[in-house]
Amino acid sequence: MILPKNNRLTEVEVAELTVIVAEFGCRIQPIVGDVRTIYAIVGDERHELMISRLEGLAFVDRVDTIQSPHKLMDIKSDLARHRVKVGGVTLGDELLVMAGLCTIDPKNPNYFYETAHAVKEAGAHALRGGVWKPRTNPYAFQGDNRSLDILMEGSRRTGLPVDTEVMDEEQLRLALGAGVQILQIGARNALNYSLLRQVGKAIAGRETAVLLKRGMHLGTLSEFISAAEYIVNFGNPNVILCPRGTQPGLDGYRNHPDESITPLLKERTWAPVVVDPSHSVGKATYVPACALAAVAYGADGLCIEAHISPSHGLGDDPKQAITPKVLAELITRAKALHALRRSPKPSAPVS
Ligand code: PEP
Ligand code: MN
């Protein structure tokens, strides 16, 4: 469907549209509204080249394809009124902060418990803690089922919901059975459609939320949003999009930080955006700047790796976890920036 810049098009302009769409086997059907006329494309309107040629016309505002690959996630979907809630926070109203370990150490559970209390004290609303880890090195620590008990014990002790990554059906079953409130789909599985479908089916009818990371490669936004559609189309719309940096990394950073896609996502989808600055930059000292940039770009929340003693951590923690002290300062600044972003803009000075 073509939305013109003005209320209706001239005959010459309609003829121009007609010539373009005819090349792709389509025709134009004007639909006359009270105020505005829109121009439906009758036929298969998904041809990318046709859409970009139409969008290139000066008199066209935008082209909405009816067969959007993510019609539920689309900003124009009826679901756009849905609000995702995590840890007492309604995303969009208040800045959500999730923080905790990259990887729970089953031999030293106190690192998780102490970090859990410390990040709560710092102002976090939810805990993160990796039970099962996707490791590049097959000989590196892969996680441990025992860490699931530690994760849930941390949730009980602090009263905060927990987020952990699941990579297969068995982990999904165990995590849901234990009561994990937020399931994380990691960057390596972000396009594992069979897992996405399993997660969608498993959480239907529950309050469980899903933190869906962006795939590691520099994929399109449509691909990212469509991955969320795989989950939501089973009936649970509590999905959160998580940019976490893409490959190739920016020289000096672990990945190419991509918090700047936040406003672009928000133009296309109603899903809340929670940015992961830790994996974006891969080094603790760069995390606060990336986190604040994310908030400035419009993020609804942050998912941050934090550890009471990073050098004693596993997985990514020695390199990229920030301490609860740094987290507390960051949360204060991030909340202030979030409030500033939401406050009415001052009117232009009268000269
Ligand atoms: C993680 O959150 O620790 C993790 C492995 O994330 P990602 O999938 O973004 O690499
Ligand atoms: Mn990690």
**92-146 pLDDT tens trace:** 999 999 999 999 999 999 999 999 999 999 999 999 999 999 999 999 999 999 9
Between β-strands 209-213 and 182-185, what pairing exists: parallel, antiparallel or unpaired?
A: parallel
Between β-strands 301-305 and 96-100, what pairing exists: parallel, antiparallel or unpaired?
A: parallel
Cβ within 8 Å of residue 48, ≥6 positions away? none
Q: Which of 101, 102, 241 to mutate to test the pocket of ligand 1 (most atoms within 8 A of CB)?
A: 102
Which residue's entry shows tokens 């040629």? 53
Give the Å distances, CA to CA, from 7 to 11, 12, 234, 239.
13, 15, 38, 36
- Whether residue 244 has its Cβ less than 6 Å from ligand 1: yes
- Whether residue 301 has its Cβ less than 6 Å from ligand 1: no
**pTM for the structure as a whole:** 0.83
Q: How does pLDDT run across 294-331, given as a tens digit for each residue?
A: 999 999 999 999 999 999 999 999 999 999 999 999 99
Which residue's entry shows tokens 């994929």? 219
Pairwise CA distance, residues 116 & 240, whole Å: 22
Smallest-distance ligand from the CA of 184 = 1
In 3D space, the residue among 117, 108, 208 whose CA is nearest the CA of residue 154 turns out to be 117
Q: Which residues pair with 182 in a beta bridge?
A: 163, 209
